Structure formats: structure tokens, C-alpha cells
């Protein structure tokens, strides 16, 4: 496969500005590849240089902004190149018009020759027009292409049992063969394909999802359950573990698309962050092994009861953390001290002369009141935290603790950031941005909390390294604290057992060497002391039953962690 050397284009900002929300960009190095989007990520040809590639990117961003790929019934476009092109022409026109006020004029002019004169109101209407075989202009190459398959794959949801890699592979192979047929333009062959039939048949007991479930999960034993469970939008989603696995499956399918299959084709945008990973058995780092990207949380439904976030201020915790003082600061207006404050002295002199009693607090003193603390709270949002029942799962306790801590530190005037993380393999570690250091804690933060998606796995090493980087770059405070809230089970694709534990401990060590204090909190996890020590080392964790216990035990642990990091840094500097 040909690979092209790539200039790292910093196009994520451009993409986010035009699309109106953060978008991930990947580059296709295959020669002649056309760009496309799966509704979430944009795949951009690496051949064109940034300036020239601008048009392509703007088109895809507009499609995202206008929700073109959210059209209900997109499935109908599979199998007809012509209809796909009509849909594309219509949607580019509609979506670009909807954000015309932030598109460059030269670009809008370039769209002119492809006007359809149809004026659809939404994507569904475009779909209808496209299927009605109306004659429309053919889209130019820079409109890219439409890949309804990829969009569908991205949206797969359902219930089922555990998935295994072989099954996934089978599915990918089938999808692949279908796509090959489709590429040949042989519609008949496509329609004869049993998998296509399965996909295009209506919903129901023998509909796509039911069959899909059986195909993928071997659910023949209970076909009814399968039929009930898989239909999108059905309220009868299989509860608990099963739907969780399904969610993971959906993500795995997507990550498979983005990573496993065409990884040779794809290069992450420069804005994704690469970090090494520690291979304990070989005693060395694997350079640039993991890739972390920041995304906006996007769960359609909250995965915990949002009233969890309503709790009143935890006064004991507030008081306990308030007395966490770290450095000295000069205070004017003291009745005693080591320096006179000239201003105040003069004011006192004037007051006395004019017959007032005056303020005698004319000294300044150095007192240990300074905090200058930046805290990054890193919340494990992997599906293992969904263990437990009802409204008292590990994830509920963790979210409660994280939110409480975020609010308390913020109240105390500390700089706080909050991120949720999870992963699907080494190239897809995701940071869900809940609150950055420079953002104000408010309704927006709360809204983002509600959209936190809890799924996938825990590649804690990469997450800790990225958090360290963020603290270093953005906290802007002399004291830095990383609070990792996790159940203590690092686990991901090729990230298990001793390997995962060693990498996690290594990442914590690296952070400390950079002067970042680390404290790992387990809140109501069933992990025992031995487990926690394995993952986090002996001195760096605090295991508590639930968030209310924090008031009693957190401050001491934070002080110890900060002390340890300060010593580390001192040693490193010496």
C-alpha cells in the first residue's frame, strides 16, 4: 500500500470552527482517495496540501454541521452510486446554505455551478429527492464521497452476549465483500448477497437487527429475545451487561474501521496526542505507542441519574480542603509583621491628624495561606464501572465523587479541570472534555457531565500521561494535583495483567518526576488492597466506600501526595 509522507496539518481547529463543534480528522494516504465522513470523524485525503484541501474539508464540515449523515433511512442509498451522488449534491447545497455566514465567499462561489434548484428542508427530503431519480448536477471530486455503510456501522446498537474478535472479523469481511460488490457497480450481485438481504429487509422478528444479533452473537437459542432487543429506539434494550457489550461492540466496529482494518491508510491528525507505553517485561518504552484524542462527550442519554449532580455543597469536605495550604503569601493589613506598609502608615498618620482613630493594621507578613493549586480530575468512564445494581453502581459513586471534588476545589478558588477517559485499543484513547482549566464551572459543565459516555476499556497509562501533559501546560499553578478516580482495573486491548499494571505505575512515576502529585481514588470498587497496590503502587491511593467519606480522609492523602511529588521534583532537579 502506497504511503505518502505527510505534513502534519493542524486542521482540527479549522474543522471545529466550520462544523461548529470539535471533529476528529484522519488522513487517507491511499492515492486518489476521496474524503468522506462517518458523521463523527472526517477522513481527508493526505495528498492535497492544506490550502488546497481546504475546499474538501469545508464540504465535509458543512455536512456535519447540517446533520446530513443523521438522515433517517440512509440505508436506502447503499447500492446506488447515482442516488448517493444526488443526495450528496443536495445536501452539500443545503448544509452550506445553513452556515453560509461563516463560509468564505470564494468557497460559496465555487459551489455555484452545482446548484440544484431544489431547496430541500432537511436531509430526509434530500433523500426523497435523490431516490426520485430527478436529474441533478454531478458532484465534483472535491465534494468527496458518501459512505452510508460506515455511518450505519457507526450507529449499530443492540443487545447481545460477549463479542469475540473472530465474529467481528467475520462481520467486517462480509461488509467488505458487500462493499466490493457495490464498487463493481453490479447491483444484481449485491441484491443477491444474503447479507444484503438481511440488511435491507424490514425490521421485525426476521428483520435486520434480529438476524444481525443471531449472526453475530449466536443467539439462536433465544431468537425472540434477540428480535426484541436490537431495534434501534426500542425501549426494550437488554439491560445491564448485555447492552453494555453491545455498546462496546458498536464502538469496536467503529474503531475497527478507523484503526484495525485500514490502519495502514490512516494517520491521526496532528492534534491527537501520541504517548509511549512502558513494556515492563522488556524493560523499555514503546515509543508513540498510544494515541489520545479529546472529544466532546456525546452520549445520547445520560448513563447515570442526573439528580446525582444536585447534591448540596459538602460542607465538611469544603472545610477540610480549605485548610489545605501549601505555600507562603504576603499579606498586607496585619497588626504585626516583618514589614511596614507605607500606604497604610500614611493613611494612619492622616487619620490620626484629622482626629480619627485610624486603622492600625499597617504591617505585612508572610503567612502560609497560599494554595496556587491546579487539580485535574480524571474519571474512569469505562464499562467496567457499570458493575453493581440500580443507582449505586461504581460509576454512580465515581461521578458523585468527581462532581463533588470539582465543585469543592472550584469553590475554594483552585484551578480545576475534569475529564472522563476510556479506550478501544492503543490508538483510540478518548478524553471526554467536561471542564477545561480555563472554563468556568456552570450549567454548561453540568450539561456535558450528563452526556458523559461510559463504555469501552481502561488504558490508564496513556490517560495519566495525557493528563500530566494537560496539567503541565494549562494549570499554570506551582502545585499540580492529578486525581484519578477509577475502579482499579486497568484493562484494554493488549493491555492486561502485569503489563497494564506496570505501565500504569510507570506513568504515575513519570508524572511525579515532573512535579505532578498523583492520587488515585477508588470509590466503592470491589478491588482489594492487593489489586489497588498492583495498579497504583503502595503509597498513592485512597480506597473509600463512597463520596461522603472523602471529607475525613482526602486532605491527608492529598498533602502526602503533594509532598511526595515535591520531593521527587527536588531529587530530579538535584
Residues near Mg ion, by CB under 5 A: 382, 384, 458, 489
d(CA 45, CA 37): 12
Burial of 494 (0-12, 13-18, 19+ CB in 10 A): exposed
Task: Count the residues of the shown chain that bind other proteins, applying the rule CB under 8 A.
Answer: 45
Find out whether 371 and 326 touch, Cβ atoms under 8 Å: yes
Long-range CB contacts (< 8 A, 24+ apart) of 271-276?
271/10, 271/12, 271/13, 271/25, 272/24, 273/466, 273/469, 275/461, 275/462, 275/465, 275/466, 276/465
Report the candidate in 80, 430, 48, 92 with the shortest Cα–Cα distance to residue 258: 430
Find the shortest distance in angstroms from Cβ 399 to other proteins.
20
Find the shortest distance in angstroms from Cβ 346 to other proteins.
7
Cβ atoms within 10 Å, residue 353? 9
Taking CB within 5 to 8 Å according to partner kind, which of other proteins, Mg ion, none is near residue 51?
other proteins
Q: Is 371 in the site for other proteins (CB under 8 A)?
A: no
Q: Which of residues 291-310 bind other proteins (CB under 8 A)?
A: 294, 296
Q: Is 345 in the site for other proteins (CB under 8 A)?
A: no
Q: If phi over 0 gives left and psi between -120 and 50 gives alpha, with beta otherwise, what is residue 505?
A: alpha
Find the shortest distance in angstroms from Cβ 378 to Mg ion.
13
Member of 4, 16, 261, 318 binding other proteins (CB under 8 A)? 16
Taking CB within 5 to 8 Å according to partner kind, which of Mg ion, other proteins, none is near residue 550?
none
d(CA 555, CA 547): 13
- The secondary element (H helix, E strand) that includes residue 131 is helix 123-131
Taking CB within 5 to 8 Å according to partner kind, which of other proteins, Mg ion, none is near residue 382?
Mg ion
Member of 73, 119, 442, 545 binding other proteins (CB under 8 A)? 442
Q: What are the backbone angles phi and psi of residue 573, rounded to the nearest 5°?
A: -70, -35
Choices 32-40, 351-359, 453-461, 514-522; region in contact with other proteins by CB under 8 A: 351-359
Pairing assessment for the beta strands 363-370 and 339-340 based on DSSP bridges: antiparallel
Choices 27-35, 40-48, 51-59, 232-240; region in contact with other proteins by CB under 8 A: 51-59
Taking CB within 5 to 8 Å according to partner kind, which of Mg ion, other proteins, none is near residue 458?
Mg ion
Member of 173, 183, 345, 350 binding other proteins (CB under 8 A)? 350
- The secondary element (H helix, E strand) that includes residue 252 is helix 240-255
Find the shortest distance in angstroms from Cβ 530 to Mg ion.
17
Find out whether 503 and 555 touch, Cβ atoms under 8 Å: no
Q: Is 49 in the site for other proteins (CB under 8 A)?
A: no
Residue (65 or 88) nearer to other proteins, CB:
65
Find the shortest distance in angstroms from Cβ 151 to other proteins.
23
Q: Is 476 in the site for other proteins (CB under 8 A)?
A: no
Member of 31, 104, 316, 545 binding other proteins (CB under 8 A)? 104
- The secondary element (H helix, E strand) that includes residue 460 is helix 460-470
**Chain residues that interact with other proteins, rule: CB under 8 A:** 9-14, 16-22, 50-51, 54, 58, 101-105, 270-271, 294, 296, 346-347, 349-351, 353-354, 356, 410-411, 413, 433, 436, 438-442, 473
Amino acid at each position: 500500500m502506497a504511503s505518502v509522507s505527510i505534513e502534519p496539518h493542524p486542521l482540527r481547529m479549522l474543522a471545529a470552527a466550520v462544523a461548529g463543534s470539535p471533529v476528529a480528522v484522519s488522513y487517507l494516504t491511499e492515492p486518489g482517495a476521496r474524503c468522506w465522513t462517518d458523521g463523527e470523524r472526517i477522513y481527508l485525503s493526505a495528498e492535497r496540501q492544506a490550502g488546497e484541501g481546504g475546499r474538501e474539508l469545508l464540504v465535509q464540515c458543512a455536512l456535519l454541521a447540517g446533520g446530513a449523515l443523521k438522515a433517517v433511512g440512509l440505508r436506502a442509498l447503499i447500492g446506488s452510486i447515482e442516488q448517493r451522488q444526488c443526495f450528496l449534491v443536495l445536501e452539500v447545497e443545503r448544509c452550506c446554505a445553513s452556515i453560509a455566514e461563516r463560509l468564505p465567499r470564494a468557497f460559496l462561489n465555487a459551489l455555484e455551478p452545482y446548484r440544484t434548484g431544489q431547496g430541500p428542508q432537511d436531509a430526509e427530503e434530500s433523500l426523497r429527492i435523490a431516490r426520485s431519480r430527478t436529474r441533478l448536477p454531478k458532484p465534483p471530486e472535491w465534494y468527496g464521497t458518501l459512505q452510508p455503510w460506515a455511518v450505519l456501522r457507526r450507529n449499530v446498537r443492540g443487545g447481545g452476549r460477549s463479542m469475540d474478535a473472530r465474529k467481528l472479523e467475520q462481520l467486517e469481511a462480509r461488509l467488505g465483500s458487500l462493499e466490493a460488490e457495490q464498487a463493481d457497480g453490479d447491483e444484481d450481485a449485491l441484491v443477491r448477497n444474503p447479507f444484503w438481504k438481511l440488511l435491507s429487509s424490514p425490521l421485525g422478528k426476521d428483520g435486520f437487527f434480529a438476524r444481525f444479533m443471531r449472526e453475530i452473537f449466536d443467539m439462536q437459542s433465544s431468537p425472540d429475545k434477540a428480535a426484541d432487543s436490537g431495534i434501534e429506539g426500542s425501549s426494550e434494550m437488554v439491560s445491564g451487561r448485555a447492552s453494555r457489550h453491545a455498546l462496546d461492540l458498536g464502538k469496536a466496529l467503529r474503531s475497527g474501521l478507523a484503526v484495525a482494518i485500514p490502519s495502514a491508510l490512516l494517520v491521526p491528525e496532528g492534534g491527537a496526542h501520541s504517548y509511549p507505553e512502558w513494556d515492563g517485561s522488556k524493560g523499555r518504552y514503546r515509543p508513540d505507542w498510544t494515541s489520545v484524542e479529546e472529544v466532546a462527550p456525546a452520549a445520547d442519554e445520560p448513563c447515570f441519574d442526573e439528580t446525582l449532580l444536585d447534591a448540596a455543597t459538602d460542607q465538611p469536605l469544603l472545610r477540610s480542603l480549605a485548610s489545605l495550604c501549601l505555600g507562603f503569601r504576603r499579606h498586607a493589613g496585619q497588626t504585626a509583621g516583618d514589614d511596614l506598609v507605607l500606604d497604610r502608615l500614611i493613611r494612619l498618620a492622616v487619620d490620626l491628624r484629622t482626629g480619627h482613630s485610624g486603622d492600625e493594621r499597617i504591617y505585612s507578613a508572610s503567612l502560609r495561606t497560599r494554595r496556587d493549586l491546579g487539580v485535574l480530575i480524571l474519571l474512569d468512564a469505562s464499562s467496567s464501572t457499570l458493575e453493581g445494581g440500580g443507582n449505586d453502581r461504581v460509576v454512580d459513586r465515581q461521578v458523585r465523587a468527581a462532581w463533588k471534588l470539582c465543585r469543592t476545589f472550584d469553590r475554594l478558588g483552585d484551578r480545576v479541570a475534569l475529564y472522563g477517559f476510556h479506550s478501544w485499543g492503543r490508538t483510540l484513547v478518548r478524553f471526554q472534555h467536561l471542564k477545561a482549566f480555563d472554563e468556568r464551572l456552570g450549567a454548561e459543565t453540568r450539561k456535558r457531565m450528563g452526556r458523559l459516555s461510559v463504555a469501552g476499556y481502561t488504558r490508564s497509562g496513556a490517560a495519566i500521561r495525557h493528563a500530566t501533559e494537560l496539567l503541565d501546560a494549562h494549570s499554570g499553578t506551582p502545585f499540580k494535583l492529578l486525581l484519578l478516580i477509577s475502579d482499579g482495573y486497568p484493562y484494554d486491548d493488549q493491555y492486561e495483567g502485569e503489563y497494564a499494571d506496570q505501565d500504569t505505575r510507570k506513568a504515575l512515576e513519570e508524572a511525579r518526576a515532573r512535579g505532578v502529585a498523583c492520587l488515585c481514588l477508588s470509590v466503592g470498587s470491589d478491588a482489594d488492597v492487593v489489586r489497588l497496590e498492583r495498579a497504583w503502587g503502595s503509597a498513592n491511593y485512597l480506597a473509600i466506600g463512597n463520596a461522603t467519606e472523602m471529607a475525613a480522609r482526602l486532605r491527608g492523602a492529598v498533602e502526602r501526595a503533594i509532598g511526595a511529588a515535591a520531593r521527587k521534583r527536588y531529587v530530579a532537579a538535584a
